[in-house]
Amino acid sequence: MSTATVARTETRDYYEVLGAEPSASAAQLRTAFREAVLRHHPDRAPSSEIATRRTSVLNRAWAELRDPIRRLHYDHALESGRADTLQWPLDDGEAARTRRHRRHRVEPGEPSPWHQPQWRSVAGFRIPAEVFLAGPGAHDRWIVEHHIEGQDWRTHSERYWLRYAAQHYADRGRYDDWLGVLERIVELQAPWAEIVELDLRTAYLSAGEELRGAMVIAAIGERHARDTPQRRWAERELRVLLGEYRDAHVRRGPRDRRAENAELLLNFLESIEIEPSFTDYRSAIVAHRRAGNEGRAAELVERVMAAPIPDPGRWFSLVQLLTEAGQLDRASVLLAEIARGEHPQALDPRRVSGPWRRISAARERLARARRRTPATAG
Report if residue 59 sits inside a domain.
yes
Report if residue 321 sits inside a domain.
yes
pLDDT of res. 68: 81
Report if residue 344 sits inside a domain.
yes
What are the tens digits of pLDDT across the range 130-153? 998 899 889 988 998 888 888 889
Q: In this predicted model, which residue has the larger pLDDT, 67 or 234?
A: 234
What are the tens digits of pLDDT across the range 232-290? 999 999 999 999 999 999 999 888 899 999 999 999 998 888 889 999 999 999 999 99
Counting the structural domains of the chain, the total is 2
> In which band, very low, low, confident or very high, does the pLDDT at 220 lie, cut at 50, 70 and 90?
very high
Say yes or no to pLDDT of 8 above 90: no
pLDDT of res. 378: 40
**Domain around 358:** 308-378
Q: Round the average pLDDT of the chain to a whole number and report it.
A: 86
Last residue of a domain, one of 70, 89, 108: 89
What are the tens digits of pLDDT across the range 315-349? 999 999 999 999 999 999 999 999 999 999 999 99
**From 77-81, 106-110, 255-259, 300-304, the region with the lowest mean pLDDT:** 106-110
What are the tens digits of pLDDT across the range 94-103? 766 665 555 5
> In which band, very low, low, confident or very high, does the pLDDT at 43 lie, cut at 50, 70 and 90?
low
pLDDT of res. 107: 54
**3-class SS letters over the chain:** CCCCCCCCEEEEEHHHHHCCCCCCCHHHHHHHHHHHHHHCCCCCCCCHHHHHHHHHHHHHHHHHHCCHHHHHHHHHHHHCCCCCEEEEECCCCCCCCCCCCCCCCCCCCCCCCCCCCCEEEECCEEEEHHHHHCCHHHHHHHHHHHHHCCCCHHHCCCHHHHHHHHHHHHHCCCHHHHHHHHHHHHHCCCCHHHHHHCCHHHHHHHHCCHHHHHHHHHHHHHCCCCCCHHHHHHHHHHHHHHHHHHHHHHCCCCHHHHHHHHHHHHHHHHHCCCCCCHHHHHHHHHHHHHCCCHHHHHHHHHHHHHCCCCCCCHHHHHHHHHHHCCEHHHHHHHHHHHHHCCCHHHHCCCCCCCHHHHHHHHHHHHHHHHHHCCCCEC
> In which band, very low, low, confident or very high, does the pLDDT at 44 lie, cut at 50, 70 and 90?
low
Report if residue 279 sits inside a domain.
no
Last residue of a domain, one of 89, 115, 146: 89
Report if residue 312 sits inside a domain.
yes
Report if residue 313 sits inside a domain.
yes
Q: What are phi and psi of 128, to 5 degrees?
A: -65, 150
- Quick one: what percent of the chain has pLDDT higher than 70? 89
Report if residue 148 sits inside a domain.
no
> In which band, very low, low, confident or very high, does the pLDDT at 3 lie, cut at 50, 70 and 90?
very low
Last residue of a domain, one of 89, 107, 139: 89
Say yes or no to pLDDT of 195 above 60: yes
What are the tens digits of pLDDT across the range 23-33? 888 888 889 99
> In which band, very low, low, confident or very high, does the pLDDT at 47 lie, cut at 50, 70 and 90?
low
Report if residue 16 sits inside a domain.
yes
pLDDT of res. 149: 87
Q: The domain that contains 59 carries what CATH number?
A: 1.10.287.110
pLDDT of res. 54: 86
